[in-house]
Amino acid sequence: MQFEGRRKASAAPNLTPLIDIVFLLLVFFMLTAHFVRDESLNIELPEAVSADSIDLESPVEVSLSGSGDIQLKGNTVLIEELVQQLAPLLVLSRDKRVVIKGDLAASLGKSVAVLDAARRAGADGVDIVTRQPEGRP
């Protein structure tokens, strides 16, 4: 008496469940990425030929728009509240430097007020972010 041997399974694995999962993940990420909005000020940085690049690990960044709006960590703050908002962030910062992204149309008065607030909050230094002119390495 001879027993039937094991039938050989097909050498190719069934990829249908894997394709279904990848497709569902693709649809999920496409739908969720559509709703993500980056809420920040629209700032046009001034150009500076003599600019040096800085390497800060996690700088405290203040944005100043042309209309005079000030943003700190994505939240709009009043100039009167800027010292109180900056002080705890500078305590946690290792290098205690503030980076200011000021719009080309920002007023000098607001810029000086932000610089003064950063110094009063305990900043050891303040850097102003610019962009290099087109065509420069």
Domain CATH code at residue 68? 3.30.420.270
Q: Which residues contact 95 (CB under 8 A, 6 or more apart)?
A: 56, 57, 59, 124
Q: Is 88 contained in some domain?
A: yes
Residue 9 backbone dihedrals phi, psi, to 5 degrees: -75, 155
Question: Does some domain include residue 104?
Answer: yes
First to last CA, the chain: 84
Q: Has residue 47 been placed in a domain?
A: no
What is the distance between the alpha carbons of residues 22 and 103, in angstroms, rounded to a whole number?
Answer: 43
Least Cα distance to 73 among 52, 50, 55, 90 occurs for: 90
Residue 74 lies in a domain: yes
How many structural domains comprise the chain? Answer: 1
Q: Quick check: is 122 in a domain?
A: yes
Residue 15 located in a structural domain: no
**pLDDT at residue 36 above 60?**
no
Identify whether 109 is part of a domain: yes
Owning domain of residue 102: 60-128
pLDDT cut 70: percent of the chain above it: 69
pLDDT in tens, 83-134: 998 888 888 887 888 888 888 888 888 888 888 898 888 888 888 877 766 6
Helices (H), the chain: 16-34, 82-92, 108-120
pLDDT at 8 over 80: no
Residue 111 is assigned to a structural domain of this protein: yes
